[in-house]
Amino acid sequence: MKRKVEKQQSAAPVSAVSAIAARRARQPQQQVIVPISPSPDPRATEEPPTKKTKPSPPTDEKWTDSEKPRPDRRRRKGKLVAEKRQDDSMESAPQESEPLPDEPSADESRWEEENEDITMADGIEEEALAQNEEDESYESPTNVATEIENFPLSKTRLNKSSIVYADENRLCVRIKEKMNLVAVGQYDIWVKRGVISLMGAKLHPSPNLYRVYAPSTHSLPVIKCVTGIEGYAEVEISSCHSGMYRLGDLSPLYQRIWNSKNTAADKATLNGNSRRTFSVLYTSSDDPLGRHLRPLHLEKKWSAAIKHLSQKVGGLRVLVCGPKASGKSTFSRYLQNHLLSPAPQTENGYSNTDGVAFLDLDPGQPEFSPMGEVYLAHLRTPCFGPPFSHPSLDGSKDGSILRSHHIGATSPKEDPDHYVLAATDLMDHYKRLLADYPQCSLIINFPGWIFGLGLEVATWLIKSLGLSDVVYMSEKGPSEVADPLAQAASEAMVNMITLPSQPTEYVTRSSAQLRSMQMQSYFHKSQPAQLQSHIWSDAPLNRIRPLSVDYAGSRQGILGVMVMGAHHNPELLHDLLDGSIVSLVAVENQNAITGLATNADIPEHAMEDDDEQSDVDPDTNMDDATESPADESSSQPTLLSSLQPFITRTQRENLPYLFIGSGSCTPLNPKYSRSLGLALVRGIHPSSHKLDLVTPIPPSTIRDALETGQGIVLVRGQLDNPNWAIAEEYYAARAAERRHSASVVASRKAKAGQPASNKTHTDARKQKEISQQLRDRVRRAGNVPWMTVVEDTRRSARPSDGANHKKTMWKLRKKAYPGSESETDW
């Protein structure tokens, strides 16, 4: 009877004491239950699973709340009054009730257990940062008001007949036809026999390895056997170490998204305490962290549409549009993977050697670039993972970005004219690409800005881009959007396909948080020449040597600094620029600036790399790489001299403020300019007239632009503040302190019972000194003018030790204007 009473408490209004007890019991599952009014049948408020859940193999773990057997509805209805009375009595005397199952452990013991996982960062502890109501910066991923449901994931069960071989790094399994397998984490997959489907791609037996990123932030990819030999496909899944899990040391957004302790399926294939970078899951309840996990399945209509579109081979020019959160990016990703993975020899004799062109017109949630950019990419291989696992394409075997333009905002509504010009220029470059790759299909991803002026832009693109198909991701309209799109498609003689929306039912990160994760991944990602895959660094940006650029003098490396939007007082340029995200825009021709002559030549300009500060390959000579190619005739006006009427120098720093237009700044013409990538302005030095830039742009890209006579302009848009970069040192310091504390505890356990010696005392003193240094580092990182660490006592103490574990947060103090009280009110 007490178990029924405890379950009924979650559906009835509870007192403060019982609410704390209930929340403590649910903390291991990382869920927050929304209080609901009592109803005769609590199951009426719950959404049933789409499929019948298959139980996992028995383990020692206790059942979760979602797995507890429910009494019959008729019995519940008959005993509702009695249970309500007992519920009230238990609220008044909670000490008389049984302790609920799944008691959470203390922070320290939980950290020691999860710190052993090689696929998790050192900050696995629950990091509930308080959210500023006036800021959209950070929401705690754990504070999500929804219940955890047990979803079936893998149909294939690992046993002696399905396991070919297994060790601490690899797992080779046989998957029967129409069966599937789901894993969370990072892994490389190799198809040895049969044909499997993965995120829209059909992978045939080959020596190729495909890197898969399957974090809990998105629905997990499903490995399904499509065609088998002797009834099954054989695949090998192996661990990979890209370093992305280390980003958890720099941001709580990257914590608790990979695999943790071994699951029931892992224990059947591993011996001892060894772990892989991936874990096989049978159901979502198998996850040791109790996260909301979903399999990535497609609507049948989506599959039929992808099959229909892929039959057009090289004549495909499709625009994917629809409302926000309707599945546009997912559909585009599935379609491009399907086009990039045909059979070695299909029935019509076509073999895709020309790749797929991807025109991404969504600056808020781009697929292969950081936010604020629209671009044209030429893809060569399927891509398996969310956008933050491939924030850029560096010309590797996966593909390359042919041309990119900086919009400077997460929505094109800030400047629709500039947005249309950028889209038109990218489409022109796609037509040039067809000269070398005539069978290259085109996929255009349009943003969710589909109402009002956005609808006019969409209809104009349909009529002017020469499309073959339009996919609208909503069967429910509205008619004021669907009808004009259908009419525009009819006038342009373009086929229009209407598909149902497939929004994500559960999202562990908001759109702003996903943008921050993609930005952070972009700045920490690199592509070493000796490696075939990308790697990520866990060094905070303030510890990376920047690229030093002259903004004035004889070796001036940038033409000017442009701030998009309204006109600003030039004396505010320092505050607008310092610590902001800017785009390095290459000016290819004077026509990029409205009103300039068209027959002037581009001057010689260079970007200097300080030997003491540059964070580039020591074998690369930046002075040689950025020298101007040849002296140009002094009789010809240079681009810099032509820009002088539009440049205002600040009095204190001598910064070149480039403003074109009246009232608001006119952006550079996309036809004669392009974005090289983004950079973080880490410092401004007025005495030496230098800017310190941290950027992942390869030095060869900048060198090639300068050697072709192009000038560089820094464009400061209206992107989100880089709050993630400001807090990196703080989180890195805390992670280092936790690692050292864990090593000290492990050392003490290993030396327990041994006699003390001089070496033991010496090691203890060294450990104490290191601990003090790490504590000082945490204090320095949290005691800076732009960040304030605030104690958050809103969450209750854990019942395991009764201590009041306080959580911390950080927030950014902004200046209203120079000299204001807010400038010094920290």
Task: Give which of 692, 553, 709 is closest to 609, Cα–Cα.
Answer: 692
Please determine, for residue 49, whether its predicted confidence score (pLDDT) is greater than 80: no
Identity of the residue numbered 228:
G
Residues 262 and 286: their CA atoms lie apart, in Å, by 10
Please determine, for residue 110, whether its predicted confidence score (pLDDT) is greater than 80: no
Which position has the higher pLDDT, 349 or 790? 790
Strands 180-193 and 170-176: unpaired
Classify 106-298 by CATH class.
Answer: mainly beta
Residues 656 and 647: their CA atoms lie apart, in Å, by 6
pLDDT of 764: 85
User: HSE on the CB side for 136, CA within 13 Å?
Assistant: 11
The band of 489, judged by pLDDT with boundaries at 50, 70 and 90, is very high
pLDDT of 148: 59
- The phi, psi pair for 224, rounded to 5°, reads -120, 135
Residues 701 and 768: their CA atoms lie apart, in Å, by 47
Which position has the higher pLDDT, 690 or 313? 690
The band of 784, judged by pLDDT with boundaries at 50, 70 and 90, is confident
The band of 352, judged by pLDDT with boundaries at 50, 70 and 90, is low
| 3-state secondary structure (DSSP) of residue 297 | coil
The band of 166, judged by pLDDT with boundaries at 50, 70 and 90, is very high
Strands 441-445 and 317-321: parallel
The band of 456, judged by pLDDT with boundaries at 50, 70 and 90, is very high
Residues 374 and 403: their CA atoms lie apart, in Å, by 9
pLDDT of 397: 76
Residues 275 and 214: their CA atoms lie apart, in Å, by 16
Task: DSSP for 169-183, please give it.
Answer: SEEEEEEETT-EEEE
Domain ranges of the chain: 2-104, 106-298, 301-501, 539-724
Which position has the higher pLDDT, 40 or 788? 788
pLDDT of 272: 76
What average pLDDT does range 80-103 have in this prediction? 39
pLDDT of 334: 94
What average pLDDT does range 759-777 have in this prediction? 88
E strand intervals along 720-805? 783-784, 787-792
Please determine, for residue 492, whether its predicted confidence score (pLDDT) is greater than 70: yes
The band of 590, judged by pLDDT with boundaries at 50, 70 and 90, is confident
Q: Is 441 exposed, middle or buried (0-12, 13-18, 19+ CB in 10 A)?
A: buried
User: 121 near 245, Cβ under 8 Å?
Assistant: yes
Please determine, for residue 122, whether its predicted confidence score (pLDDT) is greater than 70: no
What average pLDDT does range 556-581 have in this prediction? 92
pLDDT of 663: 82
What average pLDDT does range 542-547 have in this prediction? 91
pLDDT of 382: 93
Measured distance between the N- and C-terminal CA atoms of the chain, rounded to whole angstroms = 55
pLDDT of 195: 95
Query: Of 346-355, 725-734, 779-788, 808-817, where does mean pLDDT reach its minimum?
Result: 808-817
What average pLDDT does range 124-141 have in this prediction? 34
Please determine, for residue 417, whether its predicted confidence score (pLDDT) is greater than 50: yes
pLDDT of 344: 66
Provide the β-strand partners of residue 791: 808
Strands 195-198 and 222-227: antiparallel
Please determine, for residue 771, whether its predicted confidence score (pLDDT) is greater than 50: yes
CATH 3.40.50.300 fits 301-501, yes or no: yes
What average pLDDT does range 378-385 have in this prediction? 94
Task: DSSP for 595-643, please give it.
Answer: T--SSPBP--------TTT--S-TT--HHHHTS-SSPPPTTSPBHHHHH
pLDDT of 505: 53
Share of the chain above pLDDT 70, in %: 70
Share of the chain above pLDDT 90, in %: 47
Please determine, for residue 38, whether its predicted confidence score (pLDDT) is greater than 90: no
Q: Tell me the average pLDDT of the chain.
A: 76
E strand intervals along 43-177? 163-166, 170-176
**pTM to 2 decimals?**
0.76
User: 382 near 191, Cβ under 8 Å?
Assistant: no
The band of 325, judged by pLDDT with boundaries at 50, 70 and 90, is confident
Query: Of 50-59, 197-206, 748-757, where does mean pLDDT reach its minimum?
Result: 50-59
pLDDT of 403: 96
pLDDT of 400: 92
| Strongest mean pLDDT among 313-322, 505-514, 591-600 | 313-322
Please determine, for residue 502, whether its predicted confidence score (pLDDT) is greater than 80: no
Residues 86 and 93: their CA atoms lie apart, in Å, by 10
pLDDT of 619: 37
pLDDT of 202: 93
User: pLDDT tens digits, residue range 703-734?
Assistant: 888 888 888 999 999 988 899 999 999 999 99
Please determine, for residue 673, whether its predicted confidence score (pLDDT) is greater than 80: yes
